[in-house]
Amino acid sequence: MKYINTSGHPTPLPLEAGLLILVNREPKAPEIIQLLDWHIMVMERPSPCKELWDYLKHHGGILDEETAWFIMAQATMATHICCQQGAFHRDIKLENLLLNPETLEVKLIDFGCGDLLRDSSCTCFLGTREYFPEYYVWRQYHGKPATVWSLGVLLFIMVCGRFPQPEDLDTIEHDIWSEPGLSEDCCHLIQSLLQQNPSQRIDLRDILLH
């Protein structure tokens, strides 16, 4: 088990507990699951709630843009707060977002693959392959651009009902991607998120302003 030093604690803490303490600092983000007790990892369990994956399946595998954007905005805010607090979640995906089906409120969960956010590149892979970009090409990645890509995959699945395929990424690269039934704004955001060159991806803050 990996341990990290966290301010306010005299001894190193298990990595997941330390990251949750970091992201639960004031001002707290309602989009991130709250750690209630780190000694035995007690976390809140919102009720009612279900994984976003289950919610998506229940709605035929695809969501309308308005619903998808409401969820996407909360997921983006959660990851933005994580980065501000120095935490890299590293496993943003449908299964790691709890959703209240009545209010569509989102909670980011499961920091078990996470790490401290660094300016230097990461060379160790943890997470879910389908949501991860350049590691398999260059064997390294940076936290914030990798997070943006994962959010892009998340949005793509919600509005298209599938993972992005190589032909999708090729047309995105040439700025000609579109999907029947999606607005121009939605297509533009997806293209801004899923740029194969990390330096060309939209910034986390700018996603919220899109």
Q: Helix 184-193 crosses helix 143-160 at what angle (to 10 degrees)?
A: 140
The residues annotated as belonging to the active site are: 91
Beta strand segments in the chain, E: 3-4, 13-14, 35-37, 42-43, 50-51, 87-88, 97-99, 106-108, 115-116
Bridge partners of 51, per DSSP, are 98
Burial class (CB in 10 A: 0-12, 13-18, 19+), 147: buried
What kind and span of H or E run contains 190? helix 184-193
